[in-house]
């Protein structure tokens, strides 16, 4: 870490580490023990907590990564948990009808 680099999150404190995912320089207040900056940590997939999210689930609203979601159409994604419930749970059958507009295999 070079001298006098500012934290790219708060732009006030000196950076002490670099985020392992995005490469941002971050101060001690904005980097966790796993090497993630606070911005990446906020945008991690809520299912796997390993990859950055690309969308949110149309059903539950959680932010999800590509691997933890099913793309019904471009820009229409459902998390794998909700997708499984839609297919197999009667309590989610109302969503099946809604999602049929996007995916023919439901």
Map tokens 């680099």 to a residue.
5
Q: What is the pLDDT of residues 62-87, one digit of tens each?
A: 999 999 999 988 888 999 999 888 88
H helix or E strand, kind and range, residue 94: helix 93-99
Q: Is residue 105 pLDDT above 80, yes or no?
A: no
Q: Across-strand partners of 55?
A: 64
pTM over 0.85: no
């Amino acid at each position: 870490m070079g001298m006098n680099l500012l934290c790219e999150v708060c732009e006030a404190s000196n950076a002490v580490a670099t985020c392992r995912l995005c490469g941002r320089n971050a101060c001690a207040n904005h980097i966790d023990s796993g090497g993630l900056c606070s911005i990446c940590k906020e945008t991690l997939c809520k299912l796997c907590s390993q990859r950055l999210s690309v969308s949110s689930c149309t059903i539950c609203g959680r932010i999800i990564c590509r691997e933890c979601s099913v793309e019904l159409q471009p820009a229409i994604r459902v998390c794998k948990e909700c997708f499984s419930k839609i297919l197999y749970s009667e309590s989610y059958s109302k969503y099946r009808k809604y999602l049929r507009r996007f995916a023919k295999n439901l």
